[in-house]
Structure 1
């Protein structure tokens, strides 16, 4: 089972679009997928329009307990309109309360909850945080990581900050003699304006900055308004002809980041 974290330290840089896109594409290709919304803003949860049967049965139930083995299997909510193979573990605003949790075992709870999970792929939509308990929990649970970005100053800053956090996390593992199995798979740049006559300077500079990392994946994902529109209606953009070019790009990227 691959556990993939989607991360940036900036908001509004297509992190949720990337997490949802990879999850739905994987599910529609026959993988059993669990998509975990770890962000208190709950963007993935709102897009999928999922809600637990009881208010407390969201990802916060995992993060609040040391004895949470197997919790993920019970908290996943189906999204049949997207795929019968996909379940989402929703988030809620009060997940932010867990950021004040600094007990010794807190960072292992998410990983512990995945024991016994009947999925081929887990994707974690991370919050845009500079470290902290939620990010430590995600990095501890994950075996691979993809950075999400736009070709903008915020996009580049988010990747740079996220990579610094990951580097420090990996150094801390080395210090305590723990195995480091977290792989930086690459950077996915999305919401790219491919219809402009000339590429704006900020996009050219941002592209160069991301390419210098050696992690920038291709193709870059073009911007289409249908993606933002369906986030308001709970639909999947790939079911619309106008979303096909976005779906095609993410499908090519799926082949590069999903084992």
Structure 2
């Protein structure tokens, strides 16, 4: 089972779009996928329109208990309009309460919850945090990581900050002789102007900056208004002709980052 975290330290840089897109693409190819919304803003949860049977049955239940084996399996909710192979573990605003959680072993709870999970792929939609308990939990659970970005100043800053956090996390693991993980699989840049004539200068500069990391993946994902529109309606943009170019890009990217 691959556990893939989608991370940036900036908000509004297509992190959720990337997490959801890779999850749906994999699920529609027949993979069993669990998408974990770790962000208190609940962007993935709102898009998928999943609601737990009881108010407390969300990812916060995992983060609040040391004895949480099997919780991810129990809390996952099928998103039938997207794929019967896809389940979402929802978030809620009070997940932010866990950011004050520094008890011993708290960073292992998310990883522990994956024990017994019947999935081929887990994707974690991380919050845009500069480290802290939520991010530490995500990095402990993940074996691989994708940085999400727009071609903007915030997008570049979010990747730089996230990479610094991951580097420090790996250094801390090395100090105690633990395996160095997660692996950096690359940067997915999305919501890009695909008309080179009309492309803003800031996008070109940002593409150069991200390219210098050696991690920028291709193709970059074009901007289409349908993506933002369906996030308000709970639909999947790939079911619309106007979303086809976005879907095609994510299909190609999935072949590079999903085992």
Question: Counterpart of 2:16 in 1: which secondary structure?
Answer: helix
Distance 2:215 2:176 in 1: 27
What per-residue deviation string (whole Å, max 9, x for no partner) do you get for residues 191-210 of structure 1?
00113623221111101000
1:176 aligns with 2:173: no
2:202 paired residue number: 202
Q: After alignment, is 198-207 or 215-224 more displaced?
A: 198-207
Runs of 4+ in 1 over 6 A off after TM superposition: none
2:116 paired residue number: 116
Question: Counterpart of 1:231 in 2: which secondary structure?
Answer: helix
1:135 paired residue number: 135
What per-residue deviation string (whole Å, max 9, x for no partner) do you get for residues 210-230 of structure 1?
000000000000000000000
Distance 1:213 1:65 in 2: 38
Q: Any stretches of 5+ residues in structure 2 without a counterpart?
A: none
* Paired residues for 1:3-82 under 5 Å: 3-82=3-82
1:244 paired residue number: 244
Question: Counterpart of 2:111 in 1: which secondary structure?
Answer: helix
Question: Counterpart of 1:65 in 2: which secondary structure?
Answer: coil
Distance 1:114 1:41 in 2: 22
2:229 paired residue number: 229
What per-residue deviation string (whole Å, max 9, x for no partner) do you get for residues 113-159 of structure 1?
00000000000000000000000000000000000000000000000
Question: Counterpart of 2:148 in 1: which secondary structure?
Answer: strand
1:153 aligns with 2:177: no
Distance 1:123 1:20 in 2: 8
Q: Any stretches of 5+ residues in structure 1 without a counterpart?
A: none
Question: Paired residues, what number?
Answer: 259
Distance 1:101 1:256 in 2: 35
Q: After alignment, is 196-205 or 11-20 more displaced?
A: 196-205
Following superposition, the deviation at residue 180 of structure 1 comes to: 1.3
Measured on the aligned residues, the alpha-carbon RMSD in Å equals 0.6
TM-score (norm 1): 0.99
Question: Counterpart of 1:166 in 2: which secondary structure?
Answer: helix
Distance 1:52 1:181 in 2: 32
Distance 2:227 2:140 in 1: 31
1:185 aligns with 2:198: no
Distance 2:173 2:138 in 1: 14
2:220 paired residue number: 220
Distance 2:198 2:233 in 1: 33
2:255 paired residue number: 255
Following superposition, the deviation at residue 252 of structure 1 comes to: 0.2
